[in-house]
Amino acid sequence: APAEDAITDLPGLNHTIGFRHFSGYLNGAQGKQLHYWFVESSRDPANDPLVLWMNGGPGCSSMEGLLAELGPYQVNVDGKTLRENPYAWNTVANVLFLEAPACVGFSYDPNDDCRTGDDETSLSNYLALQDFFLHKFPEYRKNEFYITGESYAGIYVPTLAVRVLKGQKDFTINLQGYAIGNGLSSYELNDDSIIFFAYFHGLFGDELWNRLVSHCCTGSRASKENCNFYNSYWPLCIKSVKEASDIVYNEGLNMYNLYDDCPTGTGGNFTRYEADLSNILRKHKHHSDLLQKTKERIVQLGEANLT
């Protein structure tokens, strides 16, 4: 383990911990420096599995995972002190938190170039893993390794896992599996299913539901096979989906936890897990524009009898 990356005195940590922890940088593609924070297992670090964790976005920091979700210490509301998390994942595994891509959190690009995409991100993450296992922590190369994450990591995790498996001839990592929580796996299925989810949870009633089924589904029965809420070009379907989407995403419900409060805080108009949402909105913006242009054209043509 790199002594220079060892955390020896973490501010706000007022309880004793039974594990080592490290923070530093891993080399990604084209000189990108990806910040990592590694917490060893408090049980048996030499033999416990190693779990990589990534939060989503794209563009959001995995420090959220470390300090608010599954890490061994969590930040108190005072923003200065830390409390113990008895359910930390490092009670059973070594956990590596990686901030990616460059420019996220404390990760950086030496040329301040923050533009990237899915493939370059997975390549950088792969190179960072090589740096971790070859140079920083070679003693962990034999441990069982798992790639995990949440939300837009539904893209990060599989693309990275494929790279690791396909690169095994040149660089062997003991990859055993992957885990993805509330991940984005398909834009189409995510967008189609949320309409069913919302109706089944009572977020809107039969009047809107019947219109959705009538305008977006073939046949009289709503099912995932029969309905297309995702990319219909029927104006009445688009209009109904927009109404439903507004209820789900824009009218004050906590989209991350339907039954939780919606505290005001640092939250903005967009979301760190916006992958699905931005696409819904982008698609609807396109559809709305189309609808608006169609309406204007009809008015221009004076086709009052058009139905």
Partner 1 sequence: LDPPCTNGTNLLDYLNMPEVRKAIHIPDHVQKFELCNDEVNMNFKREYDTMKPQYQYLTSKIRGLVYNGDIDMACNFLGDEWFVESLDLRVLEKRRMWHQGGQVGGFVKRFQNLDLVTVRGAGHMVPEDKPGPALKMLVSFLFKKPY
String of b and e for 83-97 (b: at least 16 CB within 10 Å)? eebeebbbbebbbbb
Minimum distance, C-beta of residue 240 to partner 1, in the bound complex (Å):
18
Residues 15-54 that bind partner 1 (CB under 8 A): 23-24, 35, 37, 49, 51
Q: How many CB atoms lie within 10 A of CB 185?
A: 11
Tell which residue, 26, 141, 163, has the closest CA to residue 94: 141
Q: What SS3 state is found at 249? A: helix
Pick the piece of the chain touching partner 1 (CB under 8 A) from 133-141, 204-212, 273-281, 296-304: 273-281
**Quick one: 198 or 208, whose CB is closer to partner 1?**
198
Minimum distance, C-beta of residue 301 to partner 1, in the bound complex (Å):
36
The tokens of 278 are what? 């931005």
Minimum distance, C-beta of residue 75 to partner 1, in the bound complex (Å):
5
Q: How many residues does this entry show for the chain?
A: 307
Our finding on whether 298 is near partner 1 (CB under 8 A) is no
Our finding on whether 241 is near partner 1 (CB under 8 A) is no
The tokens of 69 are what? 């979700």
**Which of 32, 136, 242, 272 is in the footprint of partner 1 by CB under 8 A?**
272
**Quick one: 92 or 236, whose CB is closer to partner 1?**
92
**Quick one: 114 or 291, whose CB is closer to partner 1?**
114
Residues 99, 52: contact at Cβ < 8 Å?
no
Residues 123-142 that bind partner 1 (CB under 8 A): none
Minimum distance, C-beta of residue 233 to partner 1, in the bound complex (Å):
17
Our finding on whether 171 is near partner 1 (CB under 8 A) is no
Per-residue interface string for the shown chain with partner 1, residues 213-232, x marking contact by CB under 8 A: -----------x--------
**Quick one: 142 or 236, whose CB is closer to partner 1?**
142
The tokens of 171 are what? 């660089």
Q: Containing H/E element for 22?
A: strand 21-27
Our finding on whether 285 is near partner 1 (CB under 8 A) is no
Kindly report the three-state secondary structure assignment for every residue of 133-172.
Answer: HHHHCHHHCCCCEEEEEECCHHHHHHHHHHHHHHCCCCCC
Our finding on whether 183 is near partner 1 (CB under 8 A) is yes
Minimum distance, C-beta of residue 169 to partner 1, in the bound complex (Å):
14
Question: What is d(CA 193, CA 190) in angstroms, rounded to the nearest whole number?
Answer: 5
Minimum distance, C-beta of residue 162 to partner 1, in the bound complex (Å):
5
Minimum distance, C-beta of residue 234 to partner 1, in the bound complex (Å):
21
The tokens of 91 are what? 């009670």
DSSP 79: S
Q: How many CB atoms lie within 10 A of CB 1?
A: 15
Our finding on whether 273 is near partner 1 (CB under 8 A) is yes
**Quick one: 108 or 126, whose CB is closer to partner 1?**
108
